[in-house]
Amino acid sequence: MLELLPPPPTDPLWDLTYEFGSDERAERLNLVLGVYRDHTGRTPVMAAVREAEIRLAERSESKEYRGLSGNAAFNRALLTLVLGDGGPSGRAAAVQTVAGSGALRLLADLICRTRPGATVWISDPAYVNHRPILEAAGLRVRTYGWRDAEGGFDAAGVLRDLARARRDDVVLLQGCCHNPTGVDPEPEDWEALAALAARDGWVPFVDLAYHGLGDGLEADLRATRLLAERVPEMLVAVSCSKNFGLYSDRTGCAIVLGDSERAVRHAETALQNAARTLYSMPPEHGAAVVTAVLEDAGLRAAWRAELDLMRGRIEANRSALAAQLAQRGWEAQAASLARQRGMFSMLPLTAEEMLRLRRQYAIYGTTAGRINIAGIGADRIGCLARGVAGVLAGR
């Protein structure tokens, strides 16, 4: 049987990570994977998360199954966090998932079951795993543009492309801190997108993975809440990996909004059934931690404060990199970089130039030019700027 298996494609991000691991140069810099690192290069456990884990360990609660929807208290807490205290009551349900990727897959299965002829539209460029997840669920995928010639958000182009989406198609939108570009719509652009969805009848599918790391938690959630107010149906995939630092605990949830309680209840059951065939039920630890943090006022305040500090460090890294590129004569590239938001930035380099950056300067980013701006130690910004400027000068 195994001899009949053709060579499968490998994951490009993990290929680069393995290549970095075998690179013996002392000055090497890994900016491939999307994890937050502090000034020492560590990915720390957040203080509020650590305290919540201590309290949970002291209580030593049962390890009994939670059920197909996972931790019910976690689901309620995430609904409130994402949609707000005054969110669409009775119109929404949440199911705990195996991180944000699991939420994307469960919701993709729901789309395939309810609208087998639908097309899902994703941005170009998109998060590297969007298309594989959607196509693995059996969905047809089309793309809409995202950036203009100067590297900013192409509002007119996005609206023009999405005007071709049919009623009952699904449009996947990243709620904030676009991966890989770091380029986000302005509030008025989100208003226009919400109006287009309401007019043409396509369903927003929001991928929410970096809220709190762009312009602040409430600001980063504003677009998702706006869409929830304006459209009858919406899907949301939520990850707790980045803003709680729970990468390996695989914690997330899938949220569905409908125009009736009956429709939402049926969708929730469909998600439970899909989960049953994929992994039965999600892991408990991360969900219990998030619930403990969000339900305790002191822990919640500590988490918000630490999240703001992380966001500030990301902003400082990006500003410092832009400033150093500008000092080296690359003002236009620096200005484009400075406008970006979130954990990732898009370097103004081609695939061939990213290869040169890796080979000549031991700086690892994706072939498309994405780097993890949250993974740079402050003392390495100069090295990164020198490498990027050196590659640009070689054009």
> Which string of DSSP letters, residue by residue, matches 18-50?
HHHHT---TT-EE--S-----TTS--PPPHHHH
Please, which pLDDT band fits residue 347 given cuts at 50, 70 and 90? very high
Specify the pLDDT at position 88.
76
- Give yes or no for residue 349 having a pLDDT over 90: yes
Specify the pLDDT at position 10.
83
| Measured distance CA(371)–CA(376) in Å, rounded | 9
Q: Over the stretch 259-291, which tens digit does the pLDDT of each residue have? A: 999 999 999 999 999 999 999 999 999 999 999
- Give yes or no for residue 61 having a pLDDT over 80: no
- Give yes or no for residue 258 having a pLDDT over 90: yes
| Strand 140-145 with 344-346, pairing | unpaired
| Measured distance CA(305)–CA(282) in Å, rounded | 28
Specify the pLDDT at position 62.
83
Region 137-154 average pLDDT: 95
Helix segments in the chain, DSSP class H? 12-21, 47-59, 72-83, 99-114, 130-136, 155-162, 187-200, 217-230, 261-278, 285-295, 297-327, 331-338, 351-361, 381-393
| Measured distance CA(388)–CA(139) in Å, rounded | 38
Please, which pLDDT band fits residue 85 given cuts at 50, 70 and 90? confident
Whole-structure pTM value: 0.95
Specify the pLDDT at position 8.
84
Q: Let me know: does 205 contact 171? Beta carbons within 8 Å.
A: yes
Q: Name all domains of the chain by residue range, CATH numbers in brackets.
A: 10-43+312-393 (3.90.1150.10), 65-295 (3.40.640.10)
Specify the pLDDT at position 364.
95
Specify the pLDDT at position 1.
87
Q: Over the stretch 178-234, which tens digit does the pLDDT of each residue have? A: 999 999 999 999 999 999 999 999 999 999 999 999 999 999 999 999 999 999 999
Region 342-363 average pLDDT: 95
More confident residue, 395 or 355: 355
Specify the pLDDT at position 378.
84
List the end-to-end C-alpha distance of the chain, in Å, as a whole number.
49
Region 37-61 average pLDDT: 92
Q: Which of 190, 181, 266 is nearest to 228 (CA)?
A: 190
Burial (0-12, 13-18, 19+ Cβ within 10 Å), 5: exposed
- Alpha-carbon separation of residue 87 from 152, 221, 222, 272 (angstroms): 31, 12, 12, 23
Q: Let me know: does 137 contact 109? Beta carbons within 8 Å.
A: yes
Residue found under tokens 């299965």? 109
Structure tokens at 381: 């910004």
Region 308-336 average pLDDT: 96
Q: Let me know: does 214 contact 341? Beta carbons within 8 Å.
A: yes
Residue percentage of the chain with pLDDT more than 90: 85
Q: Over the stretch 371-391, which tens digit does the pLDDT of each residue have? A: 999 989 888 999 999 999 999
- Give yes or no for residue 395 having a pLDDT over 90: no
Most confident of 34-43, 114-123, 136-145: 136-145
Q: Let me know: does 207 contact 127? Beta carbons within 8 Å.
A: yes
Q: Over the stretch 8-48, which tens digit does the pLDDT of each residue have? A: 888 888 888 899 889 899 999 999 989 999 988 899 999 99
Region 313-321 average pLDDT: 96
Q: Let me know: does 307 contact 299? Beta carbons within 8 Å.
A: no
- Give yes or no for residue 89 having a pLDDT over 80: no
Structure tokens at 50: 């650590």
Region 131-159 average pLDDT: 96
Please, which pLDDT band fits residue 116 given cuts at 50, 70 and 90? confident
Average pLDDT over all residues of the chain: 95
Specify the pLDDT at position 307.
98
- Give yes or no for residue 167 having a pLDDT over 90: yes
If you compute the radius of gyration of the chain from its CA atoms, what whole number of angstroms results? 21
| Measured distance CA(109)–CA(27) in Å, rounded | 44
CB count within 10 Å of CB 116 equals: 10
Region 331-356 average pLDDT: 95
